Amino acid sequence: MPKSLARHAHPPRNPVRRLCLQMSAGLALGSLLPRAARAQTASQASAPEAASLGDWSAREVQSLVARIVDRNQLPEALVTRLIAQAQYSATVARLILPGPPGKKNWKVYRSRFLDSLRIGAGSDFMQEFGIWFQRAQERYGVPPHIVAGILGVETIYGSNMGNFRVLDALSTLALRYPAQAPRDRSAYFGVQLGDFFQWCARDARDPLKVRGSYAGAIGMPQFMPESILKYAVDFDDDGGIDLINDPADAIGSVASYLAAKGWVRGQPTHFPLQLPQSLPPDTLAALLAPDITPTFTADQLVAMGLPLLPQARAYAGKLAVVQLPNAGADPDYVLGTDNFYVITRYNQSAFYALAVIELGEVVSAAATAAKTQS
């Protein structure tokens, strides 16, 4: 991690330095607020508890503000005032809940992403910004089609980056996470809210105007604020990091993220796998138990009765037997490598990883064909 980003991830504890950071961050954020809000913030600086907290519980806000001040080195009064200007979103609270249980269907999921809209947009995007894909591969080892696949699945190459005010989304999920959810993730979103304020201060962005997904993800690659601080890069060296408007930064930042998560240069992502019908159920259960985590060597898989293709037999690393259900039809299977697992660090789903890979391959081939014909 670059030193400048490491500094943001682990703020110094020196009280003098802390005060300087708070003052500079307060000035940066305060200057971005509308004039009336700045005046109200200044008048309440000595008594932030007197501020109107709108949709939020004063006790919950006080606890969250304390955590943000400690982690992000921001002025207490200003953080309180920003949160007070956030609005609860029932839509965000609804969308964060898991959908009704249903049968997973890989073929249906795949069809949602490998469509003509994404393929056409991706082909155009790769032709226009191909130099940045190549530079990202040179620096981070991540192939262009993987980065292109992620940008296509996430936002159709920047055409659908979300229209929720990030301040509202993150405040809703940090302070009023839906009680009916399977588990409470409010602490996670509280961290993201503080990191969002820190990013706004660092990059001179108005926290009242930034828009993103219902979960607070931002820009073409849909980075959460914590990931922006840790992994985003100024890939075109123009003096700033902009994942919303700058394709070069978006491309470089996706590659930076995957490299930081353990991407292995030159390694394949997966191999095809056809299971024999005679495979005992107990053996299949043992193979599927590790899920997407690479666990077995090629020799172990052969010993357990799997007929591996020559390229899979020659692979020296660990492999995961990944099942892709197709509702009532027979499931598909692939052998996932460490790089397949790395893609699931972006979104913890085998469906997601394979959709990224296959969309990227199709888009890359379309871009190459278009370039050849032009």
Q: Residue 257 carries which side chain, given as an amino acid letter?
A: Y
Q: Which two tokens stand for residue 44?
A: 């309440």
Annotated catalytic residue within 49, 60, 76, 154: 154
- Phi, psi of 196, rounded to the nearest 5 degrees: -60, -45
Residue 358 falls in the annotated catalytic set: no
What letter represents residue 351's amino acid?
Answer: F
| Catalytic center residues | 154
